[in-house]
């Protein structure tokens, strides 16, 4: 059984026991979260929402917070003595899917 869900503006495929890397959540480690914006639930039958499946939800637990590799943004204009260097590290949270409740 799996579900397609929308979380923080992005779509993810959630299966029971799967570990998902999502944008940073302001929650403590071990906190349970419920996601109600489920687009599709597939099991013995398929339920497709318009846009969301009513009564469906995905339960997950926050396992870890981490940062991605650093990305260097370097802008310059030749012969004009213009140089700007900036770095960025995206922050992520890892959530473990506990249960998928279909409609």
Using one digit for the tens of pLDDT, what is the confidence trace for 28-50? 999 999 999 999 999 888 889 88
- Residues 91/67, Cβ–Cβ less than 8 Å: yes
Range of the domain at 15: 2-101
Count of domains forming the chain: 1
Q: Taking Cα atoms as reference points, which of 33, 46, 18, 35 lies closest to residue 103?
A: 46
Report which DSSP code applies to 50.
S
pLDDT digits (tens, 9 = 90+) for 50-71: 889 999 999 999 999 999 999 9
Looking at the predicted structure, is the pLDDT value of residue 103 above 70? no
**30: its two tokens:** 């071990």
What rounded mean pLDDT belongs to the chain? 94
The answer to whether the pTM exceeds 0.85 is no
């Amino acid at each position: 059984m799996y579900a397609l869900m929308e979380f923080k503006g992005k779509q993810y495929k959630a299966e029971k026991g799967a570990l998902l890397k999502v944008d940073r959540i302001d929650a403590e480690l071990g906190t349970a979260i419920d996601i109600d914006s489920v687009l599709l639930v597939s099991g013995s039958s398929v339920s497709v929402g318009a846009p969301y499946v009513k009564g469906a939800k995905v339960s997950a637990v926050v396992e870890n917070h981490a940062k991605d590799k650093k990305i260097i943004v370097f802008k310059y204009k030749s012969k004009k003595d213009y140089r700007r260097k900036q770095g960025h590290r995206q922050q992520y949270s890892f959530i473990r899917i506990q249960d998928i409740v279909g409609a």
